[in-house]
Amino acid sequence: MNKPIAVNTGLAWAAIGLLAYILLPWYTLDDGLFSFKWLWGGYAGDRDYAPALFQWLLHGKWWLAPIIVPLGIGVWAALKEDARLQVWAGLGGIFLALLQGFTIYHRGWAFDGLEAAFGELDGRQFGMGWGASLVVLASLFTLTTGLAGRGAVRGDVFVAGAIGLVVAMVVAFIAFPVSQILIRAFEDKEAAFSLSYLFSNLADDRVWGLNCLTGGRCGVAWNSFFLAVAVGIGTTTLGLAFALVATRTRFRYKRALRQLTLLPIITPPFVVGLAIILLFGRSGTVTQFAADLLGLEAGRWIYGFTGVFFAQMLAFTPIAFLVLIGVVEGVSPSLEEAAQTLRANDWTTFRTVSLPLMRPGLANAFLLGFIESLADFGNPLVLGGNYDVLSTEIFFAIVGAQHDPGRAASLAIVLLGMTLLAFFLQQFWLGRKTYTSVTGKGDAGVPLRLPRWVERVSLGLVLPWAGLTAVMYAMILVGGFVEIWGRDYSFTLKHYEAAFGIVQGEHGLVWSGTAWNSFFTTIQIAAISAVPTAIIGLLTAWLLVRQEFTAKRLFEFATMLSFAIPGTVIGVSYILAFNVPPLEITGTGMILIISFVFRNLPVGVRGGIAALSQIDKALDEASLTLRASNFTTLRRIVLPLLRPALLAALVYSFVRAMTAISAVIFLVSANYDMATSYILGRVENGDYGLAIAYSSALIFVMLLAIGLLQLLVGRRQLGRRNEQPAGAPA
């Protein structure tokens, strides 16, 4: 370890923690986290704005006094270069800050036992603000600097700090809220501890029954599992076909094809379900046309497994495509040319060289499709019919007439178990093989042209699917300009005027449309959350692939937790976790940003892992040999090669924040209403025209945003020719 860097880093963070304790407001401000009214004098004497030092000295918050001790020790330890003392100072600062935060709430002691032991508390406190947050963060980095000084992760301060930061965020914003809802699995309907109630829920025939084998209905666990496997295989296959057509064929309309694949994920899920019903439902356009043409009675085949599978394939194939496009582009043409030099034909080369190098991408695409299917809520709710799945059962257990959080939590445990199984099967399939194909050497090879039958199969899958997608979205766009979708097709602009009207008032233009407030809020929240989602996701992927540390596999699985659990459960768990101190953010924009960041984090992680698996570690080692730090190596060598994964993370996190509904419906407030909750309200009121008009506007905005992100991120340059190879040996 470079000692001056470690000393400067440790001293800087210790000083930041001490200054935050002395100068910054300790508690969350009523007028918002980003309000700076407290700067205009006299804030030390204000109970709301006072820093911890003055809360202790002037306002009787004696429990904040001990925190200054480890902060001072941290400064002393950094000056003395005492790594062991830094570790203890960091641990002490974190422990004392969290201890007082969890034990004292709005009305005093948080637990009855504490009041019985120490007596009634003359005082109260609210959630952590800037001062408390920076003290905890500074203590964390004091701890990681000390650990690096004692030889952890080869003494690298940046790597130690990155691991510590990501672990802390995963614990705070994934593990902690999830634990709050899972604890309810051990409580009966009267909120009393009961193991028997947990076991009765887990062993329920409605969960694990196999009556479908004898003509009845299967349990929700089996329904979810069969659906998730089918969707995982289907989306991976279709995503690979799209990626191959986009990168390995001379298909003329590749750019349009790429844009079309993104349409399903930039549309609110219930709008896609509604379009499917209007096309293939009992009174749907296609169903009625087929019935009249063939003289058959219109059926309800779209409701159930078939409809949900179809809708999820539409919704989640773009995820597989976004993961696989970078992986397919990363396959080294030189390796393929070497195989052909040894007289391998196109199919043999593709099967034995190209496809195995895509294995990390295929595994990650399947895992994401499997988990997305398990966690999906909107499509089963609209199209499920009698085909019940875990996500809808959890939702109705929470908000339905039964109101049984214990059952909902038990079903969440089943869902987590399936996710864990998929995760370990993926690891077993990948094994310990290496998939490196991007090295520091020049690669002027020409990408292999697909075997003819593979190209035909890929086009045969892609073109009909693209055509169907185009028809569905044409219906959605038209629906905003008709009086009543499905009944009266008279042209009108009233839906757009109601949503996005602008009128001339006494003092200038007035944004009179009812959708403007949620529209601007949604864009702001989505844009803010996209950047940390991509950065944290790729940083986590780099740590998992390039660094070795204790419990790495457990850490990797923990990053998938929020993705595996239905959004309804995430929404409820965030309310339970963050409605009281120490993190009191319910009803703010911050809780929406945090939920989006950690809900969408796995896409950045899995995409980054797939891309990093192809980049030779020798590039990192060469940079480190030339005395570059890990941070410089990551920024200047690795990150430019991760542009496809970075773009995928930015695009996916932005559009999912714009279109998410299941968690959002619990977290929105009067000041922070989101587009999807507004649209859902219009759908519930039967105002389909306005809902479709709003959805069309969102689609247009997100397409513009995606194009802008592509320009900003750019493409990675691998120094390869674009020409197709000459005829390969037969």
Domain of residue 105 covers: 3-111+123-155
pLDDT for residue 293 is more than 80: no
CB neighbours of residue 59 within 10 Å: 16
Whether 729 shows a pLDDT value over 50: the answer reads: no
Backbone dihedral angles phi then psi of residue 484, each to the nearest 5 degrees = -135, 115
Q: Is the pLDDT of residue 376 over 70?
A: yes
3-state secondary structure of 146: helix
Please tell me whether residue 27 adopts helix, strand or coil conformation: strand
pLDDT of residue 723: 47
637 lies in some domain: yes
Residue whose structure tokens are 């391998």: 344
Q: Is residue 276 part of a domain?
A: no
Give the residue with greater pLDDT, 1 vs 387: 387
- 220: confidence class by pLDDT, cuts 50, 70, 90: very high
pLDDT given for residue 40 in this prediction? 60
- How far lies 165's CA from each of 86, 142, 144, 158, 365, in Å? 17, 11, 9, 10, 27
Q: Worst-scoring range by mean pLDDT, 130-144, 330-344, 566-580, 702-716?
A: 702-716
Residue 515 confidence (pLDDT): 92
The verdict on residue 240 lying in a domain is no
Q: Which of 27, 25, 23 lies closest to 126 in space, CA to CA?
A: 27
CA gap 518, 537 in Å, rounded: 27
Residue pointed to by tokens 């892992």: 609
Highest mean pLDDT among 14-18, 454-458, 700-704: 14-18
pLDDT at 437 over 60: no
Highest mean pLDDT among 52-56, 506-510, 679-683: 52-56
Domain contains 489: no
Q: Is residue 35 part of a domain?
A: yes
Q: Cα(275)–Cα(729) distance, rounded to whole angstroms?
A: 48
Most confident range (mean pLDDT) of 124-128, 272-276, 379-383, 423-427 is 124-128
Residue type, 441: K
pLDDT at position 442, please? 47
Q: Does the pLDDT at position 728 exceed 50?
A: no
Mean pLDDT, range 186-211, rounded to an integer: 80
Q: What tens digit of pLDDT does each residue of 492-506 get?
A: 999 999 999 988 877
pLDDT(373) > 50 = yes
Q: What is the pLDDT at residue 123? A: 77
Residue 36's pLDDT band (boundaries 50, 70, 90)?
low
pLDDT digits (tens, 9 = 90+) for 6-16: 668 889 999 99
By the 8 A CB rule, do 443 and 718 touch? yes
Mean residue pLDDT of the chain comes to 82
Highest mean pLDDT among 90-99, 120-129, 633-642: 90-99
* E strands in 572-697: none
- Confidence band, pLDDT 50/70/90 cuts, at residue 478: confident
Residue 396 scores a pLDDT above 90: no
Q: Is the torsion defined by CA of 465, 471, 472, 473 positive or negative?
A: positive
Tens of pLDDT, residue by residue over 633-675, are 888 888 888 877 788 788 878 888 888 877 887 888 888 889 9
Question: What does the pLDDT average to over 331-360?
Answer: 80
Q: Is residue 458 part of a domain?
A: no
Return the CATH number at 569.
1.10.3720.10
Please state which of the ranges 313-317, 639-643, 690-694 shows the lowest mean pLDDT: 639-643
pLDDT score of 406: 79
| pTM (2 d.p.) | 0.79
Q: Is residue 170 part of a domain?
A: no
- pLDDT attached to residue 449: 74
Residue 386: band (very low, low, confident or very high) from pLDDT cuts 50, 70, 90 = confident
Q: For 715, which DSSP code?
A: -
Whether 272 has a pLDDT exceeding 80, the answer reads no
Look at 684 and 315; give whichever has higher pLDDT. 315
- Report the pLDDT value the prediction gives residue 730, as an integer from 0 to 100: 38
Can you read off the two tokens belonging to residue 656?
Answer: 């999912």
Rounded to whole angstroms, the Cα distance separating 713 from 262 reads 17
255-270 pLDDT per residue, tens: 788 777 767 767 776 6
Separation CA 317–CA 652 (nearest Å)? 12
Of 15-24, 274-283, 494-503, the least confident: 274-283
Whether residue 309 is contained in a domain is answered as no
Query: What is the per-residue pLDDT across 591-615, written as a single tens digit (0 to 9) for each?
Result: 999 999 998 888 788 778 878 877 8
**Looking at the 3D structure of the chain, how many domains does it have?**
2
Question: Lowest-pLDDT range, 71-80, 213-222, 278-287?
Answer: 278-287
Reported confidence tier of residue 418, pLDDT bands at 50, 70, 90: confident
pLDDT band at 3 (very low <50, low <70, confident <90, very high): low
Tokens 């629906």, residue located: 479
Higher-pLDDT residue of 134 and 318 is: 134
DSSP three-state, residue 267: coil
Closest CA to 378 of 27, 618, 55, 656: 656
Confidence class for position 725, pLDDT limits 50, 70, 90: very low
Query: What average pLDDT does this structure show over 366-386?
Result: 84
Q: Which amino acid is at 115?
A: E
The residues, ordered by sequence, that sit 6+ positions from 722 with a Cβ below 8 Å of its Cβ are: none
Higher per-residue pLDDT: 201 or 583: 583
